[in-house]
Structure 1
Amino acid sequence: MTDILERSARDPDRVLRYSAAPTGVVDVYDGGSRGVLLLVHGGFWRARYDRMHLRPMAAALADAGWIVALPEFRRVGDPGGGFPGSVDDIRLLTRDVRTLVGAADAPLTLVGHSAGGHLAMLCADAGDARVVCLAGVLDLAAAQRAGLSDSAADEFLAGAPVADADPMSLPLPAGDIALVHGLDDAEVPVEHSQRFAERDSRIGLTTPACGHYELIDPRAEAFAAVTTALEG
C-alpha cells in the first residue's frame, strides 16, 4: 500500500515562505472555515522524503473544508536538519501558521504522520493546538532500540540524548490528543500509540485494521478514521 507515495495531486493554492532556509516553505490548500490543519509529513526525518506524497491528502482535506498548510522542514541530510533543527522548524510554524495563511483566529490542529506525528506531538504547545497523530513514532527510545528504518532514530538524534526528543518522556501537550494507528503497521508498531495512550485518559486511540500508509490515502477505507479524529 505504497502507491500513495507516488500519486500526483493538484498544485497548492499558494506556496508561502516561513523561514530563510531552502526548506522553509509551506504549501497552502485553501478550504473552508473548519479551521487550520498543519499537516506534517513523515519519512523517518530523512531529506529523501518530502512533502509531495502528502499533497493528495492535503487537497482532500481542503475539499472537506479545512485550510491545510503542508510544510517542508529541515531533515536529516539537510544543513541543520535532525534534532533539534527539524523540531525547531515545526515549532516555529506551529506558532506562526495561522497568521501566515490569513486565519489568525481559526482553531489549529497539528496532523502528523509517522515521524511527522513525532514532531507534531513535540510542538503542539507552541500554538495551543490539538494533535491528531497518525501512526506516530511516539516512543523514540523504543524506535532507537529496535533500529526502526535502519536506525533512523540514531540518525535523527546524532548523539543527542533520546529523552530530550522522546514524546514518551516529555510533558504532554495541553490540548486534545487523538491517535490513529493501523493494527497491521509494519513500519511503526501499533504499540507506540498504545503505550502513549496509556499516559492519560484524555488521549483517544483508534486502531483500524490497516497498515502504515492507508492513513494518508484519501481513497483508503481506513481514511475515515482520520477524518473522524479531525472532527473531534
Structure 2
Amino acid sequence: MLHRLLPLILAGACVGASAAAPKPMTLADYLALKGPVPNATFAYGSAPSQFAELFLPGGPGPFPVAVLVHGGCWTKEFGGITQLRNLAAALAERGIASWNVEYRRVDEAGGGYPGTYQDMNAALAMLAQQAHRYPLDLDRLVAVGHSAGGQLVQWMAGRPRIPASSPLYLPDPLPVRKVVSLGGLADLRREQALIKSSCDREIGQLTGAPSDKRPDVFSDTNAGDLLPNGSRTILVTGELDRISPPRVARDFAARARAAGDTAEVVILPGASHYDEVAASSHAWPRVLQAIESALQPAR
C-alpha cells in the first residue's frame, strides 16, 4: 500500500513547498520600503536632489563603506533614496557604514547628461572629505547600485578611463574598485533597446548628443566602454527580473572578463527586480553575501 501512496505523498509535499515559496516582490512592495533616518546628511550641491546620507554602525570603527545608489529608471517617478534606507539599516547591523546618494534625474533641472554623472563625482568627493571627520575606512569601499543605480556605480569604476576632454573627467577621483550591481542596466551602447522597453528612456537623455569634440557619446558614459579598469564587479540579478534579465548580467560579465577585469554573476532564485534591493526579501542573504565578499581583502 505504501508504494502506491508514495507518489501522492511526494506530490503533496511538492505542492506544499511551492505554496510556501515567497512571492516575488512587486513595484508597490519596493515603493513601500523604508528605513531609519540617517546619522547625518550632506549637501554636495545647491539643487534639492544633490545630497547624501551617512548611516553609521554602533561602535568606534573605522567602518567599511557601502556607497548606495538607488534606481528608478533615472526618473523621479519610481522612488529613490528613501527606499535604500532599508539596505543602509541592514548593513549597519553588519558593521558596514552607508553613503546613500541622491542625485538629479532626467526629469529634474540639470539631470541627465552631464549633470547626473557630475552628481556622482561630487557625492564621492564629499564622501572623501567626510572620511576625515567620521570613522570611515575608504580602503574598504564597495559601490552598490540598483537598476539605473547599477549603471551609475559600474560607471564609477571606470572613471579613471574617462577622456580628459570630457565634462565628466576628474584628475584624481576616489577609487571605486569593488562594485555590486543589482539588476544594473549598465551597458548603454548595447542595451539601448532594453533601456527603452524597460524604462522608456531615450539613450540621448543618458549620454547627451554627439558633437565635434565628443563624437562618441558612449566614450565617457558607458561602463562597457570604460573597460578594463581594474575593478571587481559582482552582478546580482533576480531569476525573474524582467527589467534587467539575467542575460544582461552574464553579457556584461563576459565582456569585463574578456577585457581583463574580474566579474561574477549571482542569480537569485525566485527573485524579481525588486527583491534584489530589499533586506526583507528572501534573496537578501545572497545579496549581503555579495556585498561582504566585495569588502574582503584581495587574496
Residue 46, structure 1, aligned to residue 75, structure 2: yes
Aligned to 1:163: 218
Q: Is contact 1:110–1:120 with CA below 8 Å preserved after alignment?
A: yes
The percent of aligned pairs where both chains have the same amino acid is 30
Aligned to 1:231: 292
In structure 2, the CA distance between the partners of 1:109 and 1:12, relative to structure 1 (3 Å rule), is same
Aligned to 2:189: 141
Aligned to 2:174: 127
- TM-score w.r.t. the length of structure 1 is 0.90
5+ unaligned residues in a row in structure 1: which ranges?
Answer: none
* More divergent stretch after superposition (107-116 vs 11-20): 11-20
C-alpha offsets along residues 108-166 of structure 1, whole Å, 9 cap, x if unaligned?
21111101010011113532221111110022234322323353143434545552322
* Root mean square deviation, CA, Å: 2.0
Q: 2:236, 2:104 → 1: CA distance?
A: 25
Query: Residues 37-76 of structure 1 correspond to what in structure 2 (within 5 A)?
Result: 37-48=66-77, 49-76=79-106
Aligned to 2:10: none
Asked which structure has the greater CA Rg, the reply is: 2
Q: 1:57, 1:223 → 2: CA distance?
A: 9
Q: 2:217, 2:245 → 1: CA distance?
A: 18
Q: In structure 1, what residue type is equivalent to 2:206? A: F
Aligned to 1:78: 108
- TM-score w.r.t. the length of structure 2 is 0.71
Aligned positions, number? 232
Note the C-alpha offset of 1:103: 4.0
C-alpha offsets along residues 160-214 of structure 1, whole Å, 9 cap, x if unaligned?
5552322222224323221111121011122111111102442111111211011
5+ unaligned residues in a row in structure 2: which ranges?
Answer: 1-24, 160-172, 211-215, 294-299
In structure 2, the CA distance between the partners of 1:196 and 1:186, relative to structure 1 (3 Å rule), is same
Aligned to 2:143: 110
Q: 1:150, 1:104 → 2: CA distance?
A: 35
Note the C-alpha offset of 1:99: 2.9
In structure 2, the CA distance between the partners of 1:171 and 1:200, relative to structure 1 (3 Å rule), is closer
Q: 2:254, 2:237 → 1: CA distance?
A: 14
